[in-house]
Structure 1
């Protein structure tokens, strides 16, 4: 093996290690974004509930309480949108790294040794269910706010 071939092999191996590390990092990031969303959403919704249950005791008029509840809901929605955006960007990055991994393995091992990711398999990706969970939570909180909380603030 020539010096150039050896350096190329080392480079390709290091590139493969880097790709695998990036794939791992994109998977971990989804959990971080979900944890951040849960923390912020719980805090904001806790504040919304505190205002709902305590606005009379604290001397806050009904219009201000309704405004605080609505603003809290919009804040949670904005945080959810950010979390969903981050998950989608993570999916796109993951797909790029997987394609790069497949290209490298096609070159180093043999063509087709690793199947390329397909969009049609989205239902197998846990990120899909993270997005569904966040969307469901936001829809339910808006429904609850408009059906159970806001009408009772008088």
Structure 2
């Protein structure tokens, strides 16, 4: 059964003291800063995981090439393995690029929230709205560049895998 008092309260906002408002503002600002700090740390974690994954792919590629040289595996099997490893690396590169772009977008949203919030409470901390001008100061930019380069090299490796195997096998 619906509460009749609730419908009456819905039309008439409750008066809140300045102390409660200030506490709410403080908690909201802490929340926004916490999310911004979380996103900053997330890039380092993503880079670490991507680096380890890429290193594992390179190790598997090296092991495959050593197996060819030592004649421990057929050329067809190694070709398939190398193509799959290159495709896996392309997928990882695309994933890390998408995650990084999403993190940048989210960071922009939280910074906009921070600026709007500070303006709303008329608090000037000399914070400016984020712009794309600082692009080359962000470590995310370099992660995207490196991931793109590795992805493109992997695509090239996928299409040239037979040539790679033929030249290594000889």
TM-score (norm 1): 0.86
Asked if residue 86 in structure 1 is aligned to residue 99 in structure 2, the reply is yes
How many residues matched? 153
2:88 to 63, 75, 93: 75
The unaligned stretches of length 5 or more in structure 2 are 1-14
TM-score (norm 2): 0.79
Cα deviation for residue 139 of structure 1 reads 2.5
Which residue of the partner structure matches residue 149 of structure 2?
A: 136
CA RMSD of aligned residues (A): 2.4
Kept in 1: contact 2:93–2:147 (CA 8 A):
yes
CA distance in structure 1 between the partners assigned to 2:91 and 2:16 by the alignment: 54
1:94-125 Cα offsets, whole Å, 9 max, x none, are 00100000011112234684210113432332
2:57 to 25, 32, 44: 44
1:29 to 42, 47, 57: 42
The secondary structure found in structure 2 opposite 1:29 is: helix
Kept in 2: contact 1:84–1:131 (CA 8 A):
yes
> Hey, which bits of structure 1, 4+ residues long, moved more than 6 A?
none
